[in-house]
Structure 1
Amino acid sequence: MKMIFLKKTKIPQILFSILVLSSCGNDKKTQINTTPEVEDTLPKMKPLGPETKISQAYINSVTGRINHFYVKNWPNNSMNGSFLVAKNGQIIFERYNGFANKNEGTKITAETPVQIASVSKVLTATAVLKLVNAGKIDLDQKVNTILKTFPYEDCTIRMLLSHRSGMRNYAYFTDHDKSVWDRHNQLTNKDILDILATKNVGLESRTGTRFSYCNTNYAMLALIIEKITGLTYKEAMSQMIFKPLGMTHTYVFDDDKERKKIVPSYKGNGVEIGFDYLDNVYGDKNVFSTVRDLLKFDRARNAPGFLKPELLKQVYTGYSNERKGTKNYGLGIRMINWDSGQNYYFHNGWWHGNTSSYIPLMKEHVTIIALSNKMTRNTYAVRKLAPIFGDYPFKFKDEE
């Protein structure tokens, strides 16, 4: 695969070449346009300078309430993580506290990457959407036209993105039956595909009939990214998302190289949580990042021109409407759609002791991000900040 690199500038840009790979085969049904192209999909991002600076009066009007929430939610700086609130890309509140590594005595700072768990799905989905945006794949393309051994012929890329494939969670079907998987061995994404193709683990529900949040969907999407780009998921994410956006403290965990270097996670009582046989699966998790890097990502993902308008609209459309309710899921993003017309988008994550929450308040151009490497559900409480910025009719007591 030929990659085109430009001289680095101070302003992050999305400028990369996506060429189709011979690995896609010559079958007319699966053949994808192989015309080389350079796609500049993001206008130059404005630096966080005077032209984007919001007024001090506005900052003063909201930071007191944010700080009150912070002190109440994480008393005595007990978060053990990183927390950021920004408007128009400008950080108006951030805090860092606790240990990155208790044994080494290192503290969490603005430059400490931690496991963002299922918030990784938002980034994986974005890489897939960039391939759709470039015309390399189609949302309604069947998965088995790309992953030849994928056994569920009715399943499409859109269904993987929106958790409507009907597949079972790999963490469950590999957990109890040794004939399916020996837990003494590290499981990989390719292993999951092989199990689906050969072990007849079956579906949880008929493909396309209902929503069921399932990590297997995003493990398959990571394989699709690899197949279409000809790169490893780790390298594809770096070339397509992390480097162009200046996410210098973000990477995909590689067990062989980074196990001893990564920030570990802890139980609520401070006991370190070790690795298990599921830790090599990526796409659904295994991105390490910082709140500042995720802010860069958020600014780009929702900027005009990053995705075509008609595609971006589909991202924030709910696909599971068989039951009436406010909760739904788009293409890599959770949502709450109230009858009043107000919409709230977010994604949470949990893996081992790591918890994460990413909230883009689209209408108000506010971004709220919280990451912790010490097990606590308080990370998810950052949604309580939404009413500070807009009309979000949460009933928190009822939800709790």
Structure 2
Amino acid sequence: MSLFLYLLFNHRIKMTFSKYIYSFLVSALLLTSCQEKEKQIASNDLTENTTDALSPYTIKSKKLLPSYVSSKQESLEKFYEKNWPNNSMNGGFLVAKNGQVIFEKYEGKSNFSKGESIDADTPLHIASVSKVLTATAILRLIDREKLNLEDKVNSILPTFPYDEITIKMLLNHRSGLPNYAYFADDTKIWNRSKMLHNQDILDLLAQHKFGLYFKPDRKFGYCNTNYAILALVIEKVTGKNYRNAMQEMIFEPLGMKNTYVYDYAKDKETSSLSYKGNKVLYEMNHLDDVYGDKNIYSTPRDLLKFDMATYSDKFLNSVLVSEAFKGYSYEHRGTKNYGLGIRMLEWETGEQLFYHNGWWHGNTSSYVKLKKDTVAMFAISNKYTLKTYKIWKLAPLFGTYPIKLDKDDVAN
């Protein structure tokens, strides 16, 4: 081989080797850069979460990895499509962690006759999930030293005829009060052509002194009357109508711009309507203007703002939060219990899941809070369906919970 050919051959080998080295270094740098970016996102340096989903009561939380979000989205999409195929939900569904929305979807009509669509800003009736917000208003009044958990109800509402019942017993459903929906259905007690109001409930209790279902604080007995009376307590302590008090204490401070308390006279023509499963309209009745136990209209995004505020000492002190998120009824063994305005599942393993469901006419709602994992899930529909209540089964996607989730419910 000539010297020229040898040098040329050697030069090409060096050039080819250099290209491989260059490509390897570039790939390594890109991989390192991506890994560093992921590490930076996943670092323990907590940042103040200021996404649109949150209220002014922000908390320090860890940003989610894009890979984490995409993996959860795939599972949540599959769960949604299985339970509400072919755009059948007629409402809103949202799942968030650390205040960051992972998955949300809105579809259907708030008013079928007018063709008004449901979107992220459409308030829907959240039914008994309203109790969570009513309880929070009471706790905020306690935080301001305007009220105490152990206060007797008749020390605030003098005509309330049951001496032993306290504010706490109303909150945790241990009062024994009869359900107003039952005694107000008796035509000898109430003319059902007239709308029933919260003050009417108190007046009927004072007038008839209905027998209690059980001795106060003896056991748990879920009852809407408890929260209708709590709304009157809020009015008496604040000197304001419940609707205005909730706006000033909860909705406005948290930036819940699409949330309000229903007013039958003002809102019956404009609010989202309620439908049976076959899209037949539910008619209003004499119980549709009672609030505290129901009648708050809201959106999943607004409820996420509320959920995140419950982690903030600026909104409610940690002592009261711990009082709210603990069980009060252990007369019978089991996993189910009730706190102060919140239901819970407690397992022997130590895991806890907090939630509240709601139903009124065709409206169904569910709020699930995985407190340890900073996860919130919401489903609200104004067309009757029980599938709304299934979202708690998603808990194993976010933590160790002894819940069986069918393999075909989510992505593998």
Q: What does residue 264 of structure 1 align with? A: 273
2:137 counterpart residue number: 127
Which residue does 1:45 correspond to in 2?
A: 58
Aligned positions of 1:189-338 closer than 5 A = 189-338=198-347
Q: Does 1:113 align with 2:123?
A: yes
Matching of residue 152 in structure 1 with residue 165 in structure 2: no
Kept after mapping to 1: 8 A contact 2:55/2:306? no
Matched letter for residue 92 of structure 1: I
Residue equivalent to 1:172 = 182
Q: Name the residue aligned to 1:163.
A: 173
8 Å Cα contact 2:310-2:321 kept in structure 1: no
Deviation at 1:376, TM superposition (A): 0.1
| Cα offset, 1:231, TM superposition | 0.5
Give 1:75 shift: 1.1
Q: Give the Å deviation of 1:385.
A: 0.8
Query: What TM-score, normalized by structure 2, do the two folds share?
Result: 0.84
Give the unaligned 5+ runs of structure 1: 1-9, 14-43
Q: Does the 8 Å contact 1:114/1:290 carry over to 2?
A: yes
The structure-2 alpha-carbon separation of the partners of 1:250 and 1:169, relative to structure 1 and needing over 3 Å to count, comes to same
Letter of the 1:310 counterpart = V
Deviations 1:50-81 (A, max 9, x none): x8642111101211111110011111121100
1:104 is the counterpart of 2:104? no
Judging by fraction of residues, say which structure has more helix.
2
Matched, 1:72 2:82: yes
Q: Which amino acid is the alignment partner of residue 45 of structure 1? A: T
Tell me whether 1:345 sits opposite 2:358 in the alignment.
Answer: no
User: How far 1:202 moved relative to its partner?
Assistant: 1.3
> Which secondary structure does the structure 1 equivalent of 2:229 belong to?
helix
> Is 1:59 the equivalent of 2:72?
no
CA contact (8 A) 2:59 2:311 kept: no
What secondary structure sits across from 2:320 in the alignment?
Answer: helix
Letter in 2 for 1:232: N
How many residues were matched structurally? 354
1:336-374 deviation digits (Å, cap 9, x = unpaired): 110000001000000000000001111111110010000
CA distance in 2, matches of 1:200, 1:143: 15
CA deviations on 1:212-251 (whole Å, 9 max, x unpaired) are 0000000000000000000000000000000010000000
Matched position secondary structure for 1:386 = helix
| Contact residue 163 and residue 211 of structure 1 kept, 8 A | yes
Q: Deviations over 1:142-196 (max 9, x none)?
A: 0000000001100000000000000011001111x22211111110000000010
Deviations along 1:100-119, whole A, 9 cap, x unmatched? 11000011000000000000
Distance 1:82 1:52 in 2: 26
Deviation of 1:211 (Å): 0.4
Q: Which has the larger radius of gyration?
A: 2
Query: Identity over the aligned pairs, expressed in percent?
Result: 55
Q: Which residue of 1 aligns with 2:45?
A: none
Paired residue secondary structure (1:237) = helix
Question: In the alignment, residue 113 of structure 1 is paired with which amino acid?
Answer: P
| Paired residue secondary structure (1:347) | strand
Whether the aligned pair in 2 keeps the contact of 1:164 and 1:207 (CA below 8 Å) is yes
Q: Report the CA distance between 1:301 and its aligned residue.
A: 1.8
C-alpha distance in 2, partners of 1:303/1:321? Answer: 29
Letter in 2 for 1:220: I
The letter for the 1-side match of 2:257 is T
CA distance in 2, matches of 1:200, 1:314: 31
Give the drift of 1:396. Answer: 6.8
What is the one-letter code of the residue matched to 2:324? V
Q: 1:344 to 1:46 in 2, by over 3 A?
A: closer
Distance 2:274 2:264 in 1: 15
Give the gaps of 5 or more residues in structure 2: 1-51, 407-412
**Structure 1 stretch displaced more, 388-397 or 376-385:** 388-397
Contact kept in structure 2, 1:52 and 1:90, CA below 8 Å: no
Residues of 1 paired with 2:154 and 2:281: CA distance? Answer: 40
Between the aligned partners of 1:277 and 1:367, the Cα distance in structure 2 is: 34
User: Which whole-Å CA distance do the structure 2 matches of 1:182 and 1:202 have between them?
Assistant: 21
Shift of 1:325: 1.2
- The alignment's TM-score, normalised by the length of structure 1, stands at 0.86
**Alpha-carbon separation, structure 2, partners of 1:117 and 1:306:** 24
Give the Cα–Cα distance (whole angstroms) in 1 for the partners of residues 219 and 134 of structure 2. 22
Report the counterpart of residue 21 of structure 2 in structure 1: none
2:86 alignment partner, SS class: helix
* AA in 2 matched with 1:86: A
SS at match of 1:321: coil
Paired residues of 1:316 and 1:331 also in contact (CA < 8 A)? yes
| Residue 103 (structure 2) pairs with residue 90 (structure 1) | no
